Amino acid sequence: MKVAIMGAGMSGLSCAITLEKHGVEPVIFEKRRCVGDRFVNGEATFSMFNRPIGDELKYLKEKHGIHLIPTDVVNKLVVHSKNETSSIDGSLGYLNIRGRHEKSYECQLERQVKTKINFNSDYEYQQLIKDFDYVVLATGDAEYALRLGNFRCDLTCTIKGATVTGEFLTNFPHVWFNYEIIPKGYAWLLPFSETEANLVLAYPDYPDNIKLDLDKMWESFYGLACRQLDQNLKVTDRFEITRYMMGICKNPKINNTYFVGNCFGAMSPGLGFGQFTSVLTGVYAAYDLLNMGSYCELTKPLFENFNHSLALRRFLENLNDSNWDLIVKSLDNKVLDGIVDKVISNKSRIQFLKALLPFMKLWNVFKGSRVK
């Protein structure tokens, strides 16, 4: 069986590791000159979005033999609204590095792969599908799925971020929901060492938002982050992504082509998490190729998760700054705080988004959202 994997990132490498473990050696094509050849950034995974699975890294290791070492666990998530700041405590997930850093998740996966990776590849899909029995599309964006008429784009978003230096606690990320500065969007501070963190904002490209001045928005947010962290954060690297497509493929597999990672639609529209789903889709595609499971069946819960996350996105957009202040202030209430900490902890099996779905849908209908 000749299998080509297009893209040596989270999903492509997870697919390769699984195939190799069961005796199939794929041919891996990577466009860049090495794995993770892009900006270094901090990312995170939060267990509450991956239920009923509890601890996502333990699950990947024990169930699928994929080993990933994070930079730290998330022990506290500091939440900022326009006028309030509060926190959620407990084992909530993990922080990790991405990109061209030896400890990045993709570099860790590369070390688990035995097959030689063909770097600087300029092969097109059309060529590979002629030369191979199967092609796994793992290129990290929706472009091929879109070209093949296999992608439903639900929204596009703008992302602007920077690596900043300062003093950080490696287990305390921060999140901001401040619509006065980032309308309908959010921002994160994700530390990946005691002195480096990723500061990033993201918002949906709705007509009112497209008119906004991204640089001005960034300056306002950066100033706010410096004030609230009481630090003069120094920017050492920057990145900007505009019109990033968020959506999901219509079919996870068409004939002999598999769509994995962001080609599948791994990035959740709610808050932009996609690493865990990327690894899972890579592993599941390998299981299908090995006759160990059906890709279409295995990915069904991922489609469900995506749709829950889309409802979350609409729900978040239908809140305003006063709603956010109220939510964040409630986290200070001892009883509520205790419940939230328990529900969100990675020990809980409660399917957070599924349980909230009826309420979010009601709220979205009430607010006249386009997606019910």
User: From the list 3, 4, 12, 15, which residue makes contact with ligand FAD (rule: CB under 6 A)?
Assistant: 12
Let me know the angle formed at the C-alpha of 262 by 56 and 287, rounded to the nearest 5 degrees.
Answer: 60
> What are the C-alpha distances in Å from 246 to residues 151, 202, 206?
10, 12, 13
Q: Minimum distance between the CB of residue 67 and ligand FAD, rounded to whole angstroms?
A: 17
**Residue 275 contacts ligand FAD per CB under 6 A:** yes
Tell me whether residue 298 or residue 364 sits nearer to ligand FAD (CB atom).
298
Positive/negative CA dihedral, 160, 163, 168, 170: positive
User: From the list 40, 44, 310, 311, which residue makes contact with ligand FAD (rule: CB under 6 A)?
Assistant: 44
User: From the list 109, 157, 267, 360, which residue makes contact with ligand FAD (rule: CB under 6 A)?
Assistant: 267
User: From the list 3, 4, 11, 298, which residue makes contact with ligand FAD (rule: CB under 6 A)?
Assistant: 11
User: From the list 134, 179, 186, 273, which residue makes contact with ligand FAD (rule: CB under 6 A)?
Assistant: 273
**Residue 201 contacts ligand FAD per CB under 6 A:** no
Q: Which residue is nearest to ligand FAD (CB)?
A: 9
DSSP letter at 31?
S
Instruction: Give CA 214 to chain center in angstroms.
Output: 22
> What are the C-alpha distances in Å from 171 to residues 70, 77, 85, 90, 283?
11, 8, 17, 11, 28
Tell me whether residue 12 or residue 90 sits nearer to ligand FAD (CB atom).
12
Query: Which two three-digit tokens encode residue 244?
Result: 């990033």
Q: How far apart are CA 263 and CA 246, in angstroms?
A: 10
Q: Minimum distance between the CB of residue 304 and ligand FAD, rounded to whole angstroms?
A: 18
What DSSP letter does each residue of 213-231 carry, written as one string?
-HHHHHHHHHHHHHHHHTS
Q: How far apart are CA 154 and CA 297, in angstroms?
A: 23
Let me know the angle formed at the C-alpha of 234 by 325 and 39, rounded to the nearest 5 degrees.
Answer: 95
Q: Minimum distance between the CB of residue 247 and ligand FAD, rounded to whole angstroms?
A: 13
Which three-class secondary structure state does DSSP give residue 96?
Answer: strand
Q: Minimum distance between the CB of residue 39 and ligand FAD, rounded to whole angstroms?
A: 8
**Residue 145 contacts ligand FAD per CB under 6 A:** no
User: From the list 26, 70, 269, 274, which residue makes contact with ligand FAD (rule: CB under 6 A)?
Assistant: 274
Which three-class secondary structure state does DSSP give residue 285?
Answer: helix
Q: Binding mask 93-112 vs ligand FAD (x if CB under 6 A, - otherwise)?
A: -------------x------
DSSP letter at 262?
G
Q: Minimum distance between the CB of residue 2 and ligand FAD, rounded to whole angstroms?
A: 17
Q: Give strand pairing partners of 249.
A: 151
User: From the list 138, 142, 199, 246, which residue makes contact with ligand FAD (rule: CB under 6 A)?
Assistant: 138
User: From the list 32, 61, 100, 329, which residue makes contact with ligand FAD (rule: CB under 6 A)?
Assistant: 32
Q: Which of residues 110-129 bind ligand FAD (CB under 6 A)?
A: 121
> What are the C-alpha distances in Å from 27 to residues 1, 35, 56?
11, 15, 28
Tell me whether residue 122 or residue 213 sits nearer to ligand FAD (CB atom).
122
Which region, judged by CB under 6 A, interacts with ligand FAD, from 52-60, 63-71, 150-158, 266-274? 266-274
Q: Which residues bind ligand FAD (CB under 6 A)?
A: 6-12, 29-32, 43-45, 106, 121, 138-140, 159, 161, 200, 241, 261-262, 266-267, 272-275, 278
